[in-house]
Amino acid sequence: MNQIFLWLETVRHTRGSQLLSRARLSCKRKVATSPIGALLRTLTANGAKGTPNTNPGILSPIFPPQGGRVVKCKDSYLITFLNETREFKHPFDWHPPELESGTRLWKLNLHYLEFIENLDNESFMAVVEDWIDNNPPYRREYWLDYWNSYAISIRCAVMMQQYALRNSLLPTGFKEKILRSIFDQIVYLESNLELDILGNHLIKNIKALLLASRFFSHKLCNRWNNLALKLLHRELGEQILEDGFHYERSLSYHCQVFCDLLDISVALGNNDRLLQEKLFPMAQVIADMTHPDGFVSLFNDAGFHAAYSPFVCLDTYRRITGHSPIQRRLFRFKDAGYSGLRSEDSVFIADCGPIGPDFLMAHAHGDILSFEWSIQNKRVIVDAGVFEYNPGFWRDYSRKTSSHNTVTIDDGDQCQFWSSFRVGRRAKVQCLEYQITEFGFVLRGTHDGYSGLKGKPIHRRDFCISPAKIEIRDEIKNGDGQSVCSRLLLHPECEVCVVNDHNARISIGSVLIILTTRARISCVEGWWSPDWGIRQNSKFLVLHYGDCPLSIEYRLELIQR
């Protein structure tokens, strides 16, 4: 019964159009794998006969190859995704059974074929031809990975760009084969868009359709172009918030969407006014939300190498547009909920916003009123990051509130996270005040994520931020004696000395921070995952506040050594 209520609580936030799109796709998939589906495809085939004509010159890649993904050995390929390396011999086993569980993320990465960017022409042709020959659609569960619409979108974009780059060096027979494959995949994609998921997935779909409409010369191209532009302008208006943040509020997915939009912009001749208006504030987000180590903030699902680096994103943007955002001392993204302070010695970022759009919570974490702090180019107070997407302990760990630098009541979660990407009950967040001060800013926020507990406790947090000092006051209104804790996850290189019940010293390199509070302090084991597949031992400082209702403060002060 609890599972039924959980489903209902999750589904009630989903749009009717999403549910209808999912129902349509489910019906299509069932029919497609049946004898009736095979007959219908024969009777209704509308693809081009022969090899479609192309305009390859306009689609040369604008981003560098993402290195380190494939090493060509004498008779095999060592391919690395998610910090896990596997060996493949030609012909490839494209469907290893051990990869067909959970979210299938490693297998999906394999079928994206992005690693072909790093291959010489001979290997490029061998791998692409092998994929085409051994991955026809409409086998059982084809939509879960190799003919997944998201995978098709990435694969086709890479195939088109690599074809444009290598065109003059490819033999005619291979060119006919790859063009036929791309065309057939785009025809499939057009009728299987991810309108049920939306978000960054739909942006990928739009990009593939739009690039294909420029790449091919065929009667279907006008239709692809018109559909892609209609969806693009609709999604730009919703997915890119007024402050420039992508609405899923993950810096990795923000960078990914930004790069996809840059590809689209170049394909459109940089002439789409609405798109150009969105790109600069998106670039400003990347500039401001990057830590001194050159990597993005890890709020929600994010990783250091989950997308192109901030440097590559902004350098490519500068080359294309001539514009280059400057990192600001004080920044606030009101719609997304992030606020920060940058100085010569430190970068502080706080989260006081919704965990995501109500209808798309797949990449949300329990990090309301949490924060990150870097000092002298070193991360000190860190977000837990993401180890994997497969359901289980580590996926739960990355999402739960007790893994973040905020308050828990009875060690519970601010929101009801379940499975890998679902959220049932979700907290309502409110920014009560934001004020710039002489040295930094004051931020006050609250949420009702624990109001379902007895006594309906409400958490309010006040930040007073300056370059060398963080002062935080937590207040729990109401409640019924539940236990309250606040946590600080430290970078793995930090050394900790709990001086006494109310004081601790945190050091990393030449950085020394003094923690002072009336709460009792303990130090427990934790883990930090700056990238998928990486897990490093770390430490939590746990501040045991007592029982709610309550009001208590702590201070983190930087001491120069």
Write down the pTM of the prediction.
Answer: 0.96
Among 19-23, 46-50, 417-421, the minimum mean pLDDT is found in 46-50
Q: Is the pLDDT of residue 374 over 90?
A: yes
Give the tens place of pLDDT for each residue, 262-273. 999 999 999 999
Q: Which of 234, 237, 228 is nearest to 263 (CA)?
A: 228
**Residue 561 banded pLDDT, cuts 50, 70, 90:** low
Asked if omega into 549 is within 30° of 0 (cis), the reply is: yes
Please give the pLDDT value at position 58. Answer: 73
Torsion over CA: 179, 185, 190, 196 (sign):
negative
- How far apart CA 82 and CA 107 sit, in angstroms, is 11
Please give the pLDDT value at position 57. Answer: 74
Torsion over CA: 412, 414, 419, 425 (sign):
positive
Q: Is the pLDDT of residue 69 over 60?
A: yes
Give the tens place of pLDDT for each residue, 277-309. 999 999 999 999 999 999 999 999 999 999 999
Provide the H-helix boundaries in 403-504. none
- How far apart CA 121 and CA 329 sit, in angstroms, is 47
Read off the tokens for 367: 């990090």
User: Which residues have C-beta within 8 Å of that of residue 526, sequence separation ≥ 6?
Assistant: 384, 403, 489, 490, 537, 538, 539, 540
Do residues 122 and 110 touch, judged by C-beta distance below 8 A?
Answer: no
Rounded percentage of the chain residues whose pLDDT exceeds 70: 98
Please give the pLDDT value at position 29. Answer: 93
Give the tens place of pLDDT for each residue, 404-436. 999 999 999 999 999 999 999 999 999 999 999
Residue 498, exposed/middle/buried by CB under 10 A (0-12, 13-18, 19+)?
A: middle
Give the tens place of pLDDT for each residue, 179-188. 999 999 999 9
Q: Phi-psi region for residue 92, left (φ > 0), alpha (ψ -120 to 50) or beta?
A: beta
Q: Is the pLDDT of residue 47 over 90?
A: no
Q: Which of 336, 237, 256 is nearest to 288 (CA)?
A: 336
Residue 525, exposed/middle/buried by CB under 10 A (0-12, 13-18, 19+)?
A: exposed
Q: Is the pLDDT of residue 147 over 90?
A: yes
- How far apart CA 358 and CA 354 sit, in angstroms, is 9
Please give the pLDDT value at position 327. Answer: 97
For 378, the 3-state DSSP assignment is strand
Asked if omega into 91 is within 30° of 0 (cis), the reply is: yes
- How far apart CA 369 and CA 351 sit, in angstroms, is 5
**Residue 239 banded pLDDT, cuts 50, 70, 90:** very high
Q: Which of 125, 122, 141 is nearest to 133 (CA)?
A: 125
- How far apart CA 163 and CA 147 sit, in angstroms, is 20
Do residues 352 and 368 touch, judged by C-beta distance below 8 A?
Answer: yes
Among 231-240, 495-504, 542-551, the minimum mean pLDDT is found in 495-504
The helix or strand, by DSSP H or E, that contains position 74, with its residue range, turns out to be: none
C-alpha angle 285/288/292, rounded to 5°? Answer: 135
Give the tens place of pLDDT for each residue, 319-349. 999 999 999 999 999 999 999 999 987 899 9
Please give the pLDDT value at position 49. Answer: 61
Q: Is the pLDDT of residue 67 over 70?
A: no
Question: Could you give phi then psi for residue 32, rounded to 5 degrees?
Answer: -60, -35
Mean pLDDT of all residues in the chain?
A: 95
For the residues of 295-358, what is the DSSP string, one character each?
-B--SSS--TTSSS-HHHHHHHHHHHHS------SEEEETTTTEEEEE-SSEEEEEE-S-SS-T
Residue 520, exposed/middle/buried by CB under 10 A (0-12, 13-18, 19+)?
A: middle
Rounded to an integer, the average pLDDT of 202-228 is: 97
User: Which residues have C-beta within 8 Å of that of residue 35, sequence separation ≥ 6?
Assistant: none
Rounded to an integer, the average pLDDT of 128-132 is: 98
Please give the pLDDT value at position 158. Answer: 97
The type of residue at 336 is: A
Q: Is the pLDDT of residue 501 over 80?
A: yes
- How far apart CA 429 and CA 368 sit, in angstroms, is 8
For the residues of 182-241, what is the DSSP string, one character each?
HHHHHHHHHTS--TTT-HHHHHHHHHHHHHHHHHEESTTHHHHHHHHHHHHHHHHHHHB-
- How far apart CA 413 and CA 417 sit, in angstroms, is 8
Please give the pLDDT value at position 366. Answer: 98
Please give the pLDDT value at position 217. Answer: 92
Read off the tokens for 315: 């350098």
User: Which residues have C-beta within 8 Å of that of residue 322, sequence separation ≥ 6?
Assistant: none
- How far apart CA 489 and CA 261 sit, in angstroms, is 34
Please give the pLDDT value at position 317. Answer: 98
For the residues of 277-304, what is the DSSP string, one character each?
HHHHHHHHHHHHTB-TTS-B--SSS--T
- How far apart CA 270 and CA 156 sit, in angstroms, is 21
Give the tens place of pLDDT for each residue, 305-324. 999 999 999 999 999 999 99
Q: Is the pLDDT of residue 4 over 90?
A: no
Q: How many CA atoms lie within 13 A of 145 on its CB side?
A: 22
Length of the chain: 561
Please give the pLDDT value at position 341. Answer: 98
Rounded percentage of the chain residues whose pLDDT exceeds 90: 89
Please give the pLDDT value at position 42. Answer: 74
For 472, the 3-state DSSP assignment is strand
